[in-house]
Amino acid sequence: MGSKISKADDILRKMLSEKRIKSVEDKRVGSEVFDTITLKTLYKLANTGYIHRLNGAISTGKEANVFKGLDENDNFVAVKIYRVTTSDFKKMQNYIQGDPRFKVRTSNKRQLVNAWVTKEFRNLQRAEEAGVNVPKPIIAKNNVLVMDFIGDEEGDAALPMRHSVIKDPEKLLTKLINNIKLLYQEAGLVHGDLSSYNILIQDGEPVIIDISQGMTRDHPISHELLNRDIANIVRDFKKLKVNISNEEIKSIIKDL
């Protein structure tokens, strides 16, 4: 990173001139999101080859923006950038301080967001190693997470289940329950915010995303979170005319 660059605009201009950020539209989206530290982080990730280009925004959420990027080998990547200003610190504090893997005792917002991103990275890593269908995490740095892009070869991002046409809901549900079970049994994690918004459909396969609030199975609130996840799944599949009870799903996941 050019150490003398300090102003966000300079960094953005440099990224633009080097075509690391492509279009004017991105700059507009960018300037809404990118504070100086975020830009420096992106710049560092650009210099180390993780992000060669940032293309369009895939999603502009409450707390984070997700962009499509290309790495130095022209592979698509997804770049999730948390906005420090609009993050839900109460939630982050609750979920991080209760997690034995994190010793964060801070009310510093930036530190909390960074820990949150690390948590999402580690949860994804654990899930991926357990064979759960998730985007493979590539790197987490400050408030930026780079992960595998879920989409097709042309670079069109996969749609959330919520916005997808589901041809065979029963089959999808079976696959999904299998993934939740792997997450629970093999990764020892409960997602905690599972719903048709956080399940992408890629070639008919469910891909679980957005797992930053995921908790270890042995944590006291994990039961409550699992029950909530299951209730969401039951509700979302009911809309697709698949009837299954909470207990049925639970007994499969827990091998009862």
Ligand X SMILES: Nc1ncnc2c1ncn2[C@@H]1O[C@H](COP(=O)(O)OP(=O)(O)O)[C@@H](O)[C@H]1O
State how far the Cα of 130 lies from the Cα of 208, in Å rounded to an integer. 13
Helix H or strand E segment including 148: strand 144-148
State how far the Cα of 129 lies from the Cα of 183, in Å rounded to an integer. 10
| Residue 46 site contact among ligand X, Mg ion, none (CB < 5 to 8 Å, cut-off depends on kind) | none
Query: Among 93, 195, 198, 213, which residue interacts with ligand X (rule: CB under 6 A)?
Result: 198
Which CB, 160 or 206, lies closer to ligand X?
160
Which CB, 54 or 194, lies closer to Mg ion?
194
**Region of 174 on the Ramachandran plot (φ > 0 left; ψ -120 to 50 alpha; else beta):** alpha
| Residue 160 site contact among Mg ion, ligand X, none (CB < 5 to 8 Å, cut-off depends on kind) | ligand X
- Whether 134 contacts 211, CB under 8 Å: yes
Residue in 71, 210, 229, 236 annotated catalytic = 210
Q: Is 99 in the site for ligand X (CB under 6 A)?
A: no
Bridge partners of 137? 147
The pair of structure tokens assigned to 140 is 């987490």
Query: Among 69, 160, 192, 206, which residue interacts with ligand X (rule: CB under 6 A)?
Result: 160
Q: Is 229 in the site for ligand X (CB under 6 A)?
A: no
Q: Residue 222: name the closest of 255, 256, 254 by CA.
A: 254
Strand 64-70 and strand 205-208: pairing? unpaired
Only segment of 89-97, 107-115, 153-161, 245-253 that touches ligand X (CB under 6 A): 153-161
Q: Which residues bind Mg ion (CB under 5 A)?
A: 198, 210
Q: Is 193 a catalytic residue?
A: yes
Q: Is 135 in the site for ligand X (CB under 6 A)?
A: yes
The pair of structure tokens assigned to 117 is 């991103």
Bridge partners of 1? none
| Residue 89 site contact among ligand X, Mg ion, none (CB < 5 to 8 Å, cut-off depends on kind) | none
* Residues tagged active-site: 193, 210
- Given the rule CB under 6 A, which residues bind ligand X? 58-59, 61, 63-64, 66, 78, 80, 135, 147-151, 157-158, 160, 197-198, 200, 209-210
